[in-house]
Amino acid sequence: MEHKSFVAVDAIPLLNQLPHHVANAIVVIVLLMVIAYLGTRGLRKNPKKYFIPEARLTFRTAGEMIVEGLLKIVKDNMGPRGPEFMMIIGALALFIFTSNVLGLIPGFHSPTETLNTTGACAITVFCLTHYYGIREHGIKYFKQFIGPIVWLAPLMIPIELIGHFVRPVSLSIRLFGNIFGDHYVAGVVFGLIPFLVPLPMMVLGLFVAIVQTLVFILLSMAYFAGALEGHEHEEHEG
Amino acid sequence: MHRKVMFFIVVCALVLGAAGWALAAEEAATQGAPAAGLPANVKVAIAIGAGFGIAIAAFGGALGQSRGLTSALDGIARNPAASGKIVTPMIIGLAMIESLVIYSLLVSLLLVFKL
């Protein structure tokens, strides 16, 4: 049932040499950079008058709303050390949301439709949790794998290791499965009844895009917070 | 006059939809299935496995999500002002339960693509 469909990036001469998910990811990145550039144009023109926002909805005010919303989520979950993590969480949130939504536009594929992109995001979060943990606690960060009672260590270490290594697997497969499954079913419905019935599927796709982005960044923040606090008490995350 | 135009548009939409569905069904029938290299009883097992796998996962996932949703609605009924703080963890919980169903869906898709 896999036939070649029209993809917009096939029309761009350099991009069609790349695999589809890489080319569409480049489209997402270019789109986000263009929006960011348009939002900060006033800052470059006259920085002194920049503090007064305009009264209407422009790129700048919309961008500020989005960033403030993300910052609120980060501060609610990470406590007072929130703004340190704003860069990675904000980048992940914007990239994943734009990728998920890009697949709903005809002529584009989602980069997050493949396990490659979602695995990359999940492995980034995994490496960063350990980086933040080691930066915070030093080498004693690895003592959390021992568990509360010392002579139970040969039992606790494999369990903790499996629990740690299953995190990027579950993050990546959850995002991949949701987006790929949703777009696949929407594609099948498009093939069956191309008129008006795919609309509920696309609304569901938009909802899934928002919820999956939220779940990804909330879980990432939970992992960061867990690495920072050092696991004084036993907590297992799914 | 306006209602007649709307009625005409809705009837056209339904007729086009039905025509699209009929054409798609006819095209699928004339295409035929590509022959894979697997023996027939393996294909039967794959088909049964894929179908039952996602069915059971959807059943279990629906039960689990319904319990979470019930608790969330009870909480909102007790305290309607806290509905924002209740809905956010509810959405996260539903997404976590749904991820298990998605794992099973992936296995079913893998099986179906092997057919």
Degrees to nearest 5, angle at CA B31 with B30 and B33:
125
Q: How far apart (Å, rounded) are the C-alpha atoms in residues A185 and A191?
A: 10
B27 and B10 assigned to the same domain:
yes
Average pLDDT of chain A is 84
Poorest-pLDDT segment among A23-37, A97-111, B7-21: B7-21
Residue type, A18: L
In this prediction, residue A235 carries a pLDDT of 44
- Say whether pLDDT at A119 is over 60: yes
- What is the ipTM score, two decimals? 0.71
| A96-122: burial string, b at 16+ Cβ within 10 Å, e else | bbbbbbbbbeeebbbbbbbbebbbbbb
B47 and B101 assigned to the same domain:
yes
In this prediction, residue A184 carries a pLDDT of 86
Return the residue in B9, B31, B98 with the most chain A beta carbons within 10 A, the one to mutate for interface testing: B98
pTM: 0.79
- Say whether pLDDT at B51 is over 90: yes
What percent of chain A is modeled with pLDDT above 90?
A: 27
- Say whether pLDDT at A194 is over 90: no
B60 and B14 assigned to the same domain:
no
B13 and B56 assigned to the same domain:
no
Contacts of residue A215 in chain B, CB cutoff 8 Å? Answer: 91-92, 95-96
Which candidate, B45, B54, B31, places its Cα nearest to that of B101?
B54
**Which residue is closest to B26 within chain A, CA to CA?**
A192
- Say whether pLDDT at A237 is over 70: no
B88 and B43 assigned to the same domain:
yes
Contact check, Cβ <8 Å, B21/A193: yes
- Say whether pLDDT at A232 is over 70: no
Q: How far apart (Å, rounded) are the C-alpha atoms in residues B48 and B55?
A: 11
In this prediction, residue B32 carries a pLDDT of 45
When pLDDT is averaged across residues B40-58 and rounded to a whole number, the result is: 93
B40 and B21 assigned to the same domain:
no
Residue type, B36: A
Return the residue in B102, B104, B112, B114 with the most chain A beta carbons within 10 A, the one to mutate for interface testing: B102
Q: How far apart (Å, rounded) are the C-alpha atoms in residues A30 and A35?
A: 9
B74 and B18 assigned to the same domain:
no
CB-CB neighbours of A64 under 10 Å: 13
A60-102: per-residue pLDDT in tens? 888 888 899 999 888 888 888 888 889 899 999 999 999 999 9
B24 and B40 assigned to the same domain:
no
Give how far A205 is from chain B: nearest CA, Å: 14
Establish how many alpha carbons lie within 13 A of residue A46's alpha carbon, considering only the half-sphere containing its beta carbon: 5
A132-150: per-residue pLDDT in tens? 888 888 888 887 777 777 7
- Say whether pLDDT at A37 is over 80: yes
Return the residue in B16, B92, B99, B103 with the most chain A beta carbons within 10 A, the one to mutate for interface testing: B99
Give how far B92 is from chain A: nearest CA, Å: 6
Contacts of residue B106 in chain A, CB cutoff 8 Å? Answer: 173, 176-177, 181
In this prediction, residue A1 carries a pLDDT of 41
Give chain B's contact residues with A (Cβ, < 8 Å): 13, 16-17, 20-21, 24, 91-92, 95-96, 98-99, 102-103, 105-106, 109
Provide the CATH number for the domain around residue B109. 1.20.20.10
- Say whether pLDDT at A230 is over 70: no
Instruction: Determine contact, residues A138/A185, Cβ cutoff 8 Å.
Output: no
When pLDDT is averaged across residues A171-193 and rounded to a whole number, the result is: 89
Per the structure, the count of domains in chain B is: 2
Instruction: Determine contact, residues A23/A15, Cβ cutoff 8 Å.
Output: yes
Name the 3-class secondary structure at A193.
coil
B26 and B48 assigned to the same domain:
no
Alpha-helix runs per DSSP H in A79-197: 86-102, 115-137, 153-192
Instruction: Determine contact, residues A26/A15, Cβ cutoff 8 Å.
Output: yes
B6 and B46 assigned to the same domain:
no
Residue numbers of the domain that contains B26:
1-32
